[in-house]
Amino acid sequence: MDLDTIFGLKGRTALVTGSSRGIGAAIAEGLAGAGAHVILHGVKAGATAGVQRRINDNGGTAQELAGDLSASGAGRDLIEQAEAIAPIDILVINASAQINASLSELTCEDLTFQVAVNFGSTVDMLQTLLPLMGARKWGRVVSIGSINQYRPKGVVTAYAATKAAQHNLIQSQARDYAKENVLLNTLAPGLIDTDRNAHRRDQDPAGWAEYVRTLNWMGRAGRPEEMVGAAIFLSSQACSFMTGESIFLTGGY
Ligand SMILES: NC(=O)c1ccc[n+]([C@@H]2O[C@H](COP(=O)([O-])OP(=O)(O)OC[C@H]3O[C@@H](n4cnc5c(N)ncnc54)[C@H](OP(=O)(O)O)[C@@H]3O)[C@@H](O)[C@H]2O)c1
């Protein structure tokens, strides 16, 4: 078997939620580079224009759907719109909301919002897409989790819990769909240098440098493009005997 047969995604269509920037953008560009037609997604129309341009410039193909995944039924709507473009072979569940707050600081609104975006929309999307993938006897779901699903920190109490719930759902559905060749796994990053952390990094560069130096064995934050190889593996034929598992990309933790 050549590398293209194992890792190539030619002929596949991938939907990557939250692919306007950060990890989602890098994964979308990686999947397009491996041959997939990519459906990009951001909150508002036009959010993914730069990513789409880079994919096209590199010989790939992409188009955009938009929508706020906190809205009730938004995950289902997104899948239905994507399926109207082409059957979705690969779903990367990447968009998420993260509001830093300890349990004592957590407000009801912030809890509801994070649960809706991170967990509720995942339920919606899987409810809509998995039966279709099952009928087609091929599917890959890559759920972007977090080191926090496994080793939660108090400062991200609710966010961490939604990531654990998301992975739990991936595992139950992995079991149910394993015989249909629909394989679901979690890619769990550690700290990655994206807009999500920019505020903290820019506000206190020295404090940030010290935090990062001692955070993991490599002593640095990861880069979005360092998530791409594992995402391609989990999206491809190479991942034919793995389901309901997690790959942690943390720099050693
Ligand atoms: N960065 C890290 O250190 C880190 C660590 C562990 C896990 N992760 C996980 O990795 C994934 C990507 O993180 P990132 O750092 O690349 O994120 P990011 O730079 O903050 O980008 C977030 C993406 O999600 C979209 N998004 C945000 N809220 C949304 C909503 N309500 N509805 C629909 N889309 C929404 C954004 O769209 P717009 O651009 O249109 O707003 C954007 O594309 C997330 O699941 C995150 O939990 C990140």
Q: Could you report the per-residue pLDDT of 202-246, keeping only the tens digit for each? A: 999 999 999 999 999 999 999 999 999 999 999 999 999 999 999
DSSP state of 106: -
Counting from 1 in the atom list of ligand 1, the atom nearest the Cα of 68 is 32
Question: Is 158 a pocket residue for ligand 1 (Cβ < 6 Å)?
Answer: no
To the query of whether residue 211 is one of the catalytic residues in this protein, the response is: no
Q: What residue ranges in 13-60 does DSSP mark as E strands?
A: 13-16, 37-42
**Which among 38, 70, 96 is the best mutation to test ligand 1's pocket, defined by most ligand atoms within 8 Å of the CB?**
96
pLDDT of 181 strictly over 90: yes
Tell me the mean pLDDT in the region 152-156. 95
DSSP state of 79: H
Residue 217 buriedness (CB in 10 A; 0-12 / 13-18 / 19+): exposed
Question: Residue 140 carries which side chain, given as an amino acid letter?
Answer: R
**Which among 21, 121, 195 is the best mutation to test ligand 1's pocket, defined by most ligand atoms within 8 Å of the CB?**
21
Name the residue ranges covered by the structural domains of the chain: 3-248
> 117: CA distance to ligand 1 center in Å?
10
Average pLDDT, the chain: 97
What whole-number distance in Å separates Cα of residue 183 and Cα of residue 170? 9
What whole-number distance in Å separates Cα of residue 172 and Cα of residue 71? 24
Strands 37-42, 182-189: parallel, antiparallel or unpaired by DSSP?
unpaired
**Domain 3-248 is classified in which CATH homologous superfamily?**
NAD(P)-binding Rossmann-like Domain (3.40.50.720)
Question: Is 24 a pocket residue for ligand 1 (Cβ < 6 Å)?
Answer: yes
> 25: CA distance to ligand 1 center in Å?
10
The model carries a pTM of 0.98
pLDDT of 78 strictly over 90: yes
Residues 215 and 190 sit within 8 Å (Cβ to Cβ): yes
Question: 34-44, pLDDT tens digit by residue?
Answer: 999 999 999 99
Output the pLDDT for position 226. 98
Question: Is 192 a pocket residue for ligand 1 (Cβ < 6 Å)?
Answer: yes
Q: Quick one: CA dihedral 130, 242, 92, 96, positive or negative? A: positive
What order of strands is seen across the sheet that includes strand 182-189? 61-66, 37-42, 13-16, 90-93, 139-144, 182-189, 246-249
Question: 82-104, pLDDT tens digit by residue?
Answer: 999 999 999 999 999 999 999 99
- Provide the percentage of residues in the chain whose pLDDT is more than 90: 98
Q: Looking at ligand 1, which residue's alpha carbon is closest to its atom 47?
A: 96
